[in-house]
Chains A and B, each alone.
Chain A
Amino acid sequence: MSKSYYDPSDLKKFGNITEWNEELGGKFFDYYGKVFEEGALTAREKSLIALAVSHVVKCPYCIDAYTQDGLQRGITKEEMMEAVHAGAAIESGATLVHSVQMMNKYKKLSM
């Protein structure tokens, strides 16, 4: 067993999850593949969304995968960083908007 929780080479084994549940694993990969096809959004736009979400959910495998995917699509580092900021802004916004609840509670309890 590896001494750390994340091993970059585990990404290559992602597909193996179907071995322990073929039906659900298979359905997941079909769904995943379909989602990233060219649609109302381009595959390029979806790749940038995936990169931003990878950061928000802090998945090192997804970050590796979608940085490489972006490079293959000719996405620039400026575009990648802006996408990450968009994700980060929503994430911090989600934290900060809860402070309204704090303010409400504070006011309610205070004289």
Chain B
Amino acid sequence: MLLKSLKKQKNELANSQRQLELLSNGVFETGELPKFSAQLASLKQFPLKPKTLEILQINIGYMCNQVCAHCHVDAGPDRKEIMTRETMQQCLDVIKKTGAHTLDLTGGAPEMNPEFRWFVEEATKIGVKDFIVRSNLTIITANKKYYDLPDFFKKHNIHVISSMPHWTKGKTDKQRGDGVFNASIKALKMLNAVGYGMPGSELKLDLVYNPSGAFLPGDQAALESDFKKALLSDFSIQFHELFSITNLPISRFLDYLIASENYEDYMYSLVEAFNPEAVGNVMCTNTLSVSWDGWLYDCDFNQMLELKVDSTVQHISEFDKDALENRTICISQHCYGCTAGAGSSCQGTVT
């Protein structure tokens, strides 16, 4: 089990430049596998351009109570990057003027940001249609001060999306850490108790599944039905939808792929599963990602690779919708993770 982030370990993969080099070398340099840009060019979709902005995803800090083995954020208790109230205010100003219908708060564990509740309260007043908080579940049971989170979410009609790699303890703890499964079950029960995830309930509770290893996710609908059956019969837990998400080869997952000698095979499976239909709907075509310090990215993955938006406007404080919608999306071979099979985004499949 991991205890420290790659950054804290001073692992070379904490360096985004090194990750980008790796993603362009080897099988992609020799031409054994085609680069993502070449695939797009053959579909006449290069360069990749965004459509209308619909989702603003804000990463309010890399601090997390967990240190999951696959984490693309390289989050953990040792990460100190946290969004300030000043940057949050800049985000609020932007939310007011964009037409984005979805606000998506992520981290780390967003609840660990000391200004989290203030931000949620202020953002609720603006009235976006869908206000998502990505909660890792265990935070709810981690400390007394978080026990009331289910009520807090309910009060503000937050759409809760949580990760759950499997319906069995063994697989969950292997990916997310010892004790994570039991704590997650407890948190899900607390959420169910206030109405989250119940059939017909307006309080939306969705789960995110991502594979615990070097393989692609299976069929989303089949997995959803297996998860539902198992969680209901074993723990009387209910939830709404399951989103299956492909692990992208960056950060800790990339480190794992290389250390376990799965990197090449994994890239082969991603490229083999390339689905041209997914290209038009990849997440970056309708989403912008904001980092804890206010910089703008095409997606949370590009944020971790430190690939800022290719635009005259790069910071939330100078937000300009038209300039941003005219940008070209920054891509590399990690993008194959978004176009494999049925496609993958923070809202699950895209086809």
B and A form one assembly? yes
Contact pattern, B 225-236, Cβ under 8 Å of A = 1, otherwise 0: 011000000000
A73 touches B218 (CB 8 A): yes
A74 touches B226 (CB 8 A): yes
A74 touches B166 (CB 8 A): yes
Q: Which residues of B contact A71 (CB under 8 A)?
A: 211, 213, 215
Q: Which residues of A contact B168 (CB under 8 A)?
A: 76
Q: How far is the CB of A54 from chain B (nearest CB, A)?
A: 17
Task: Determine if B28 is an interface residue (Cβ-Cβ < 8 Å).
Answer: no
Q: How far is the CA of A74 from the CA of B217 in the complex (A)?
A: 8
Q: How far is the CB of A80 from chain B (nearest CB, A)?
A: 13
In A58-100, the 8 Å CB interface with B consists of 68, 71-74, 76
Q: Which residues of B contact A17 (CB under 8 A)?
A: none
Q: How far is the CB of A65 from chain B (nearest CB, A)?
A: 11
Q: How far is the CA of A73 from the CA of B244 in the complex (A)?
A: 11
B: contact size bracket: 10 to 19
B216 touches A76 (CB 8 A): no
Task: Determine if B22 is an interface residue (Cβ-Cβ < 8 Å).
Answer: no
Task: Determine if B222 is an interface residue (Cβ-Cβ < 8 Å).
Answer: yes
A72 touches B218 (CB 8 A): yes
Task: Determine if A44 is an interface residue (Cβ-Cβ < 8 Å).
Answer: yes
A: contact size bracket: 10 to 19
In B184-210, the 8 Å CB interface with A consists of 209
Contact pattern, B 326-349, Cβ under 8 Å of A = 1, otherwise 0: 000000000000000000000000
Task: Determine if A12 is an interface residue (Cβ-Cβ < 8 Å).
Answer: yes
Task: Determine if A43 is an interface residue (Cβ-Cβ < 8 Å).
Answer: yes
Complex partner residue of A73 from B171, B222, B272, CB under 8 angstroms: B222
Q: How far is the CA of A71 from the CA of B174 in the complex (A)?
A: 14
Q: How far is the CB of B218 from chain A (nearest CB, A)?
A: 4
Task: Determine if B278 is an interface residue (Cβ-Cβ < 8 Å).
Answer: no
Q: How far is the CA of A12 from the CA of B265 in the complex (A)?
A: 10
Q: Which residues of A contact B222 (CB under 8 A)?
A: 42-44, 73
Q: Which residues of A contact B218 (CB under 8 A)?
A: 72-74
Max chain B CB contacts within 10 Å: which of A12, A44, A71? A71
A74 touches B223 (CB 8 A): yes
Q: How far is the CB of A68 from chain B (nearest CB, A)?
A: 5
Contact pattern, B 128-152, Cβ under 8 Å of A = 1, otherwise 0: 0000000000000000000000000
Complex partner residue of B268 from A12, A43, A73, A74, CB under 8 angstroms: A12
Q: How far is the CB of A91 from chain B (nearest CB, A)?
A: 28
Q: Which residues of A contact B219 (CB under 8 A)?
A: 43, 73
Contact pattern, B 169-192, Cβ under 8 Å of A = 1, otherwise 0: 011000000000000000000000
Q: How far is the CA of A58 from the CA of B66 in the complex (A)?
A: 41
Q: For residue A47, which residue of chain B has the nearest CB?
A: B218
In B80-131, the 8 Å CB interface with A consists of none
A72 touches B171 (CB 8 A): no
5 nearest A-B residue pairs (beta carbon): A72-B218, A73-B218, A71-B215, A72-B215, A68-B215
A-B CB contact pairs (8 Å), 17 listed: A12-B268, A12-B272, A42-B222, A44-B222, A44-B226, A68-B215, A71-B211, A72-B211, A72-B216, A72-B217, A73-B219, A73-B223, A74-B166, A74-B167, A74-B218, A74-B226, A74-B227
Residues of A at the B interface (CB closer than 8 Å) are 12, 42-44, 68, 71-74, 76
Residues of B at the A interface (CB closer than 8 Å) are 166-168, 170-171, 209, 211, 213, 215-219, 222-223, 226-227, 268, 272
Additional pairs, 10, CB under 8 Å, beyond known A44-B222, A72-B217, A73-B222:
A12-B268, A44-B226, A68-B215, A71-B211, A72-B216, A73-B219, A73-B223, A74-B167, A74-B218, A76-B171
